Structure formats: structure tokens, C-alpha cells
Homo-oligomer: A and B are copies of this chain.
Amino acid sequence: MFYHVKELQFNARGSKPDPRFARMLLEQFGGGNGELKAAMQYFVQAFACKQAYPDKYDMLMDIASEEFSHLEIVGATITMLLAGVNGEMKDAAESSWIGEIMKGSGAREDLINQALYNPQFCVLTAGGPTVTDSNGAPWSGAFVNANGDLTVDLRSNIAAESRAKIVYEYLLKFTDDPCVQETLKFLMTREITHFQQFEAALDTITPNFPPGVRQEDPRYGNKYFNMSQGEDATGPWNEGKSTRTQEEWNRIDDPLEYVTQTNGLIDVQVDEGIDAQALEDKTEDLSKERSEEVKSAVPESNIQWSDYCQQKSRSSHRSNKKKVMA
């Protein structure tokens, strides 16, 4: 269950209207890396792990709820940056000033003129946010990545936080309002924090590579195909050992020839030093372990999501909360 309290998590303020920056800030309201995406992503991921991984569920819901709170901060800031628009729009009878807008000759005219960079601020929302990115493209459910596996989902989150962080970093260059800058710095910082939380959670899962359960086909894991020719470069991504499987990189300089010679890679042999059987065993063992982990925690009939008795006892002992933590 979600609660709301009217106080923002952060004391967001605005020195003066700035519709142009309001438009940019939409990127973090309804854009692909924005707060709604983050909130919904963690919230949706949480469903799949509530029963089997309650500690991760707790973390995901803590952060999801904070992201909803950030969404509110961003929306409130956009609304403050559009202060004045709603009042003007209500003044329906007054239309003689339209010529003035075109000339941008006064403060009121400048305000509207700037707001028209995103015409929907005037003719659709009259001074509130839209659930779109900074160009007006609607938020999409497809932004949300939730794949029912924590070794994948947590990595999706680390990347999502990285993108959200850089967008705030970029945004910070386009406002000189110290209040707004302070808010942006808070929001940007929290992305750095969440990054580390998701990373710490990922580290508690062993093994967490490769993501999921199934191990690689040993014939293909260490090949580097040089598909883009001219000014080729080398680096630890195609020479030395791979970061995780610690296999020696085998660089295929002429992929066409290689593919042809190997009957479309079918005839490729496992390189020396790679233990195919071990990989197969690992898939099987992990398969058993992980499916058991989930199956033992998720009943298939008479399922109940919440346990209100537990809550009743908890709420009468709120002071003891820390002790009952998992």
C-alpha cells in the first residue's frame, strides 16, 4: 500500500518562472531515463521476488517509493517553473495582448513566449507537466525492464541509474536558478546512491555471472569477431583474458573466411583450457538450485500476498523493528 505525505522529500523551490528549462526537465519526468521509469521499473521487478527474495523486495520497494517521491519533486519543480501560465490561461477574455507575445515585449509576454517552446504547456496542460519527454513523446511502458531474475534486473537498474545521473548532470548546465540547481544536485546524488545499493545487492548473489542460470556454449564464448575493418584497435576486450570467464581472447580477423571454413561455426572446436563439461555441470547444478529456491518459496495454490497478523504484532512493537529485520 502506498501512502502520501504532502511534504516533498526535498524542499524544492524556484526563484522565478523558466518555461524553457521546464521543457528540458520534462526529460526526467516522462522521459526514458526519468523518475517515472525508475519508479515503475523497481516496483514491477519487486513483484517477482517478493516471496523468494524478501530482502531484495524490501530494497526494491524502498527505492521505488523514493523514485515516486522524486517524480513528485520533478513535477512540482516543473509546475513552479511554469508559475504564471495557469493564471494567464484562465484569463480567457483577455486576448488583445497576443500581438505583444509575438514581440516578447514584457515579462508576461516573455513568459508565454518561452512556454510556447513546448506549446502543450499552454494549450494542453495550462502550466503543468505532461507525461512525456522533453520533445513531447509520451512515456511508454516499454521503458520498464523487468525480467524475473535478479542477476539481470539489478544490472538493468545499475544502468538505469547511470543514465538518470548523466541526464541530471547535463540538465545542471541549463539553469542558473540556485534553488533548482540544489534540487537537481540532490536528485543526481540519489542516482549515485542507488547505483551503489543495486551493486551491493548484486554482489550478495553468488554466482551472478553469467546473468541467469545457463552457462555459455564453450565454443563461442572467447571469440572476438573483427566485423568493422580499418583502424582496428586492441584492448582488454580482444586480447588477454575475458573479465569473468577468464578465457583467452581468440580474435577472428577475417570473420567471413572463418565462418566459411567452419561450416557456419558448426565445426568450431572448444579452445584448449576451456572445460566444456564443467560448464554443463554448472548449468545443471545452478538450474536445480535456483529453481528450488523459488519453488520452495512460492506456493502454487492458496497464495496470499500479505500477512496482516504479522503486521498487527509488528505495529504494536514498532520500537523493536530493527530486531525483527531479516
Contact = CB atoms under 8 A, between A and B. Distances in A.
A317 interface: no
Given A122-B170, A123-B24, A3 B256 contact: yes
B217 A185 contact: yes
Contacts of A291: 87-88, 90-91
A52 B283 CA distance: 41
B9 A259 contact: yes
Number of copies: 6
Interface string A38-69: 00100111011010101100110111111011
User: Looking at A119, A236, A256, which has the most chain B CB atoms within 10 Å of its CB?
Assistant: A119
A228 B321 CA distance: 13
Contact of A265 (B9, B64, B126, B146): B9
Contact of A31 (B124, B286, B287): B124
Closest A-B pairs by Cβ, 3 of them: A11-B264, A135-B136, A126-B148
Given A1-B256, A55-B235, A193-B224, 12 more contacts: A2-B3, A5-B230, A16-B301, A33-B124, A86-B148, A88-B173, A126-B166, A140-B142, A159-B159, A195-B210, A200-B235, A200-B236
